[in-house]
Chains A and B, each alone.
Chain A
Amino acid sequence: MTHMVESRNIPNELYDALLAVDRLSANKLLTETTSDWTATERIEQLVSPALSRMGEEWEKGKVSLSQMYMSALICGAIVGTILPPQASHTKVHPPIAIVTLEDYHLLGKKIVSSLVRSAGYELIDYGQGVTVGVLFEKLTRDGVRILMISTLMLRSALKVRTLVNMINGGGLDIKVVVGGAPFLFDDKLWEDVGADAMARTASDITSILDRMVKEVR
């Protein structure tokens, strides 16, 4: 269902509020202004498109990372308040995990987590500074089928190869999606390290997950 609120362009208004890091306006748009929308409609027609658009603009150099992060934070908090506890919005899917591999720069993971959760996925968060060995144990224990890895340093990105070898050697069936600066600066790196996909921006991730969830079922 598509809503019109007094001919206003709510998606654009939300996008502008998020760009300006205007928490109050964003909150008003997603609560009072759209009070007759269901929570799922607000998320699918307003929040997800706004964050996706922001990711696309970031890749073009028109939006900054700080705006993306604050938008993800603001939307994450609002979505948490408008969704009922057992939300119908939540998708049914095999275990999906996210990690910042071998370093402590967790901005990318936070942005992606917020976006993915807004899209209805539940995530196991393995945190940051996790080594390949520890990660492999966790993946085996939890039966994870899709793993999203965020890295900032080239060294960490190259460690994905070690992990993929362990996954293959251990007979695990896990799809690996990578993202982060090293992969942006070398568009062949994700294939070199044996990943199944690369997310150029945080907004790529939901379509990648939608596809992978169908594949691993």
Chain B
Amino acid sequence: MTSLQRVLTTLGQKEPDRVPFFLLLTMHGAKELGLSIKEYFSKPETVVEGQLRMRKKYRHDCIYNFFYAPVEVEAWGGEVIYYEDGPPNSGAPFIRKFDDIKKLAPPRVGDTLCLVKVLKAHEIMKAKVGDEVPIIGVVMSPFSLPVMQMGFDKYIQLMYERPELFEHLMKMNEEFCVEWANAQLNAGATAICYFDPVSSTTIIPREMYFKTGYEIAKRTISRIKGPTAIHMASGRCLPIIDDLAKTGTAMIGVSVLEDLCEIKAACKGRLTVFGNLNGIEMRRWTPEQTEAVVKTALAKAGPGGGFILADNHGEIPCQVPDHVLTAISEAVHRWGIYPLSWTKDRQV
């Protein structure tokens, strides 16, 4: 099977030849090419080359065309801070007081250089890999983007205390998100990863999610012209799985804070689960630990399909050494072959 066939089979809640796995690497490509993180993300060609080399090295099942989270903030006029040893981060929020929201206008994707660069990378990748492997595009959900637009603290206050401005911001963010997602699909992305950590019950209670993030996800995802995966970026989601299943998404990215067996059972074949290796802890795993962790995840969520092994955050830190990534790959290639007979006698 090709990687795309493998992923599509598991999305259909059937067992492919082996458990698919996504190494969601954003910065390791820079190291591989001997570039600083800033240089690496300055050209679409280098990101494409980095992704292709990562896939060749680790034999995983996706191309991850995610530059960095604040690329969208940059598009809205915000500041991006680059580091040598970590992902680019958003600078001081550009919405400084609530009333600033009234003056905002969403950027147009085609006119925004940093976004056009990402689209160009999609085009080059698609030309190189065709339909052999899924290319994952990324958007921040309209509901989660404000964390970078205005800061977590102000945004929480906005949600609770300024409903009219909250709605106004969501309307603009939704328009931008839909245009941005569809532009990536048009440029070659196979699916869109919809990062929505604020919807996680780690951040807001379910009652609040049901009135806000849920409705926004339903509206936004229905207008995205391709498959989507909602990613909780390490946040919990077990109490809202039934709601997530109704948003129209095909997959959910889940946290190591929750048990994969429980998550898989709650999804009841309606959603494909991806996760939930601990990316923070991963940087100090030994090969033996890595194999054990991978085996546990495969045993808990692999049987029956509907599962893709990945990290739990949607971005593997650059501090994770190559030997750990190699050990993950080797463990999946050794233990992830269906029908996973070895899991039958195993207590999970």
Contacts and interface: CB of A to CB of B under 8 A. Distances in A.
Nearest to B239: A61
A154 B153 contact: no
Contacts of B236: 61
Interface string B80-93: 00010111011111
A193 interface: no
Interface stretch (B12-20, B38-46, B53-61, B198-206): B198-206
Interface in B196-242: 201-205, 208, 234, 236, 238
Nearest to A73: B157
Nearest to A104: B92
A156 B89 CA distance: 11
A189 B280 contact: yes
Given A61-B202, A66-B203, A154 B86 contact: yes
A64 B203 contact: yes
Interface in A125-166: 129, 153-156, 158
Contact of B153 (A103, A110, A156, A186): A110
Q: SS class of chain B's interface: helix, strand, loop or mixed?
A: loop
Interface residues of A, number: 29
Given A182-B280, A185-B278, A104 B153 contact: no
Interface residues of B, number: 37
Interface string A57-92: 000010111110110010000000000000000000
B317 interface: yes
Interface in B132-172: 147, 151-153, 156-157, 159-160
A185 B92 contact: no
Contact of A155 (B86, B157, B284): B86
B319 A105 contact: no
B151 A106 contact: yes
Interface in A185-203: 185-186, 188-189, 192
A10 interface: no
A107 interface: yes
A181 interface: yes
B201 A61 contact: yes
Contacts of A29: none
B257 interface: yes
A185 B281 contact: yes
Nearest to B319: A154
Contact of B280 (A67, A156, A186): A186
B95 interface: no
Interface in B305-338: 317, 319
B153 A106 contact: yes
B329 to A, nearest CB: 22
Given A70-B156, A158-B319, A186-B280, A103 B89 contact: yes
B152 A106 contact: yes
B257 to A, nearest CB: 7
B144 to A, nearest CB: 13
A182 B89 CA distance: 15
A69 B89 contact: no
B256 interface: yes
A107 B156 contact: yes
Nearest to B89: A103
Contacts of A188: 284
Contacts of B160: 21, 66, 70
A153 B87 contact: yes
A104 B91 contact: yes
Given A66-B208, A67-B205, A153 B86 contact: yes
B151 A129 contact: no
Nearest to B320: A154
B201 A107 contact: no
Contacts of B201: 61, 64
Contacts of A73: 157
Contacts of A107: 151-153, 156
Contacts of B284: 186, 188, 192
Nearest to A59: B257
Contacts of A105: 147, 151-152
Contacts of B159: 66
B224 to A, nearest CB: 26
Contact of B83 (A129, A155, A185): A155
Which 6 pairs of residues, A with B, have the shortest CB-CB distance?
A155-B86, A185-B280, A107-B152, A186-B281, A186-B280, A66-B204
Given A73-B157, A104-B93, A110-B153, 14 more contacts: A61-B238, A61-B258, A64-B204, A64-B208, A66-B203, A66-B204, A103-B89, A107-B151, A107-B152, A155-B86, A158-B85, A181-B234, A185-B281, A186-B284
Interface of B: 83, 85-87, 89-93, 147, 151-153, 156-157, 159-160, 201-205, 208, 234, 236, 238, 256-258, 278-281, 283-284, 317, 319
5 contacts: A69-B152, A70-B157, A153-B89, A154-B280, A158-B319
